[in-house]
Amino acid sequence: MPGPAKTAIAYHEKYAQYDLGPGHPFRGDRFPRTWELLRERGLLDQPWLKVIKPEPASREDLLLVHDGRYVDLIFRLSEQSRPYDWETPCSPDILEALLLIIGGDLAVGDAVLAGDVEKGIGLGGGYHHAGRDYGGGFCLFNDVAILVEHLRRRHGLERIMIVDHDVHAGNGTSDIFYSDPGVLFISIHQDPRTIYPGTGFIHQIGSGPGRGYNINIPLPPGTGDESYMKVLEEVVAPLAREFKPQFIISNGGSDPHFMDMLGSLMITAKGFHSITSFITSLADELCGGRYVLLIGSGYNPSVLPLSWLALMMGAMRLPPEGLEEPRSPPEEPSRIRKEVEKVIKELKETLSPYWDCFKS
């Protein structure tokens, strides 16, 4: 196994302003607490880790994806500190932090493409519920999609793969690229019949020229590390090998953790490490290692920093050491394993007209 990957990470102390208020599950202390853990573990002193202090994203960056009138609306609501919806507040501080986070995502993407580093980490990124002209689910602007468009315009990339490993389906990202065959979008999430945003089903496979390029992998509540890895091996890897991405982006945080309050998947810190290690090895095999990881979600502050660290360590190609947790999740029942096998089988059948790897 090669050593640690040269990695760029974007961070700004103002990220903490992305705080949706007392009583809201999305609090700003997630960022400094994770940063402190990176410091404690000595990662910030490593010569292979480059810290980027980002500049804010511009209006032009937002317009790569979003409708102008929608961008104006969010700026106006932010100025007036009025919420977008009941769970998605806006304020000058939140907007300032968000623009810095998006600027950070773009900066690490550029660093990877410049060849300065192999991997990029956009701390605070992954606002996958925002579409071209709507927000929701704590998300205002879709930085995952903005990064994709930035990479295409600035660097001329034609095939980008997104793996969304948040517990919630990436409905905004899915909508944005629904008819776009240049983006292979794979969302692995808790069954949307049981969780926000209530969409992200197997049969939603894209439209027009993008048919077959929008992949939803809904997992039953209770799915643990083992079945999750099976999905990566049996569905994600063959699709990636056939698609041959020039760049891989993944997004998600700690909300699939077994102790998270908003989700019911049963992933452990070691499981998070396995997920991003797996994606890293795909990037190493398929696209010269080029991989950007965006980490933002997670609603149990007691497991968030360790889970985020685990995600980062997998991407950085570090071994899964020091990721022990105070307790383990319940064993995954065989009923869940069987249900996940059924999902995999149905996915392969649904996608077989579009992908040689699934033709029997």
Contact stretch for Zn ion (CB under 5 A) within 25-33, 164-172, 265-273, 351-359: 164-172
Cβ-based nearer residue to Zn ion, 87 or 341 = 87
Query: Does residue number 174 form part of the binding site for Zn ion (CB under 5 A)?
Result: no
Query: What are the CA-CA distances from residue 316 to residues 12, 136, 325 (Å)?
Result: 20, 31, 21
Query: Does residue number 7 form part of the binding site for Zn ion (CB under 5 A)?
Result: no
Residue whose tokens read 């609090």: 27
Task: Tell me how far, at minimum, the Cβ of 209 lies from Zn ion, in Å.
Answer: 29
Query: Does residue number 190 form part of the binding site for Zn ion (CB under 5 A)?
Result: no
Query: Does residue number 30 form part of the binding site for Zn ion (CB under 5 A)?
Result: no
What DSSP line would sit under 219-274, residue for residue? Answer: E-TT-BHHHHHHHIIIIIHHHHHHH--SEEEEE--STTBTT-SS---BB-HHHHHH
Query: Does residue number 255 form part of the binding site for Zn ion (CB under 5 A)?
Result: yes
Instruction: Number of helices (H) and strands (E) in the chain: give both, helices first.
Output: 11, 8
Query: What are the CA-CA distances from residue 169 to residues 17, 29, 51, 61, 214 (Å)?
Result: 25, 25, 30, 24, 12
Burial class (CB in 10 A: 0-12, 13-18, 19+), 67: middle
Task: Tell me how far, at minimum, the Cβ of 168 lies from Zn ion, in Å.
Answer: 4
Tell me if residue 129 is catalytic: yes
Cβ-based nearer residue to Zn ion, 61 or 255 = 255
Query: Does residue number 143 form part of the binding site for Zn ion (CB under 5 A)?
Result: no
- CA dist 7 and 117 (Å) reads 5
Contact stretch for Zn ion (CB under 5 A) within 32-40, 93-101, 187-195, 289-297: 289-297
Identify the active-site residue in 12, 66, 128, 129: 129
Query: Does residue number 166 form part of the binding site for Zn ion (CB under 5 A)?
Result: yes
Query: Does residue number 149 form part of the binding site for Zn ion (CB under 5 A)?
Result: no
What is residue 88's DSSP assignment? B
Please name the helix (run of DSSP H) or strand (run of DSSP E) that holds residue 294, with its range, or none.
strand 291-295
Query: Does residue number 297 form part of the binding site for Zn ion (CB under 5 A)?
Result: yes
Query: Does residue number 191 form part of the binding site for Zn ion (CB under 5 A)?
Result: no
- CA dist 189 and 219 (Å) reads 6
List the one residue from 12, 165, 168, 290 that touches Zn ion (CB under 5 A): 168
- CA dist 170 and 251 (Å) reads 9
Cβ-based nearer residue to Zn ion, 14 or 168 = 168
Cβ-based nearer residue to Zn ion, 151 or 310 = 310
- CA dist 149 and 156 (Å) reads 10
Cβ-based nearer residue to Zn ion, 192 or 245 = 192
Q: Which residue numbers are catalytic?
A: 129
The residue ranges that bind Zn ion (CB under 5 A) are: 166, 168, 255, 297
